[in-house]
């Protein structure tokens, strides 16, 4: 590691300690990666790209030391719950539509059969001869 990276890591660790102690100096004091980056004076993408281990360590410490779930995890859990609810509704709607398709298919078959029966004259018994239409 070069000196700049080591300096960033030191600042991130110090910012971690301040945030977890509730003594934020620069950021809003939130227990998020954005607040950690702001508190440490590093760009948030540096935290997400170069110092992923420190970001994960921060979230682990948030869980263990404060007994809180990080905000990002709360938002993700809410989103997952909403998506599961939406998926359940869509699956119920799909089942209902499939039942309607089956019923409509059966209704179509019955109507088609009735129309076919009406279009053909009934068969005549052997002892009946049809009248021929008069020639004009």
The one-digit pLDDT tens for each residue of the chain (136 residues) are 678 888 889 999 999 999 888 888 888 888 888 899 998 999 889 888 889 999 989 988 888 887 777 777 788 899 999 999 999 999 999 999 999 999 999 999 988 887 665 656 667 777 777 677 656 5
Number of domains in the chain: 1
Q: Is 80 exposed, middle or buried (0-12, 13-18, 19+ CB in 10 A)?
A: exposed
Residue 32 covered by a domain: yes
Residue 73 covered by a domain: no
Domain coverage including residue 30: 3-68
Q: Compute the distance between CA of residue 9 and CA of residue 22 in angstroms, rounded to an integer.
A: 20
Q: What is the pTM of this model?
A: 0.52
Residue 7 covered by a domain: yes
Could you give the 3-state DSSP secondary structure of residue 128?
Answer: coil
Residue 97 covered by a domain: no
Q: Dihedral of the CA atoms 104, 110, 116, 118 (nearest 10)? A: -120
Kindly provide the b/e burial profile for residues 46-77, where b requires at least 16 CB atoms within 10 angstroms of the residue's own CB: ebeebbeebbeebbeebeeeeeeebeeeeeee
Residue at token pair 């001869």: 129
């Amino acid at each position: 590691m070069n000196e700049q990276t080591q300096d960033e890591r030191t600042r991130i660790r110090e910012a971690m300690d301040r945030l977890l102690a509730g003594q934020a100096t620069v950021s809003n004091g939130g227990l998020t990666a954005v607040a950690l980056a702001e508190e440490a004076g590093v760009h948030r993408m540096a935290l997400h790209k170069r110092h992923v281990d420190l970001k994960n360590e921060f979230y682990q410490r948030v869980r263990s030391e404060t007994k809180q779930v990080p905000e990002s995890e709360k938002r993700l859990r809410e989103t997952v719950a909403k998506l599961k609810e939406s998926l359940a509704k869509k699956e119920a709607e799909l089942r209902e539509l499939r039942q309607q398709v089956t019923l409509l298919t059966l209704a179509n078959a019955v109507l088609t059969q009735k129309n076919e029966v009406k279009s053909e004259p009934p068969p005549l018994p052997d002892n009946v001869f049809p009248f021929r239409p008069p020639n004009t």
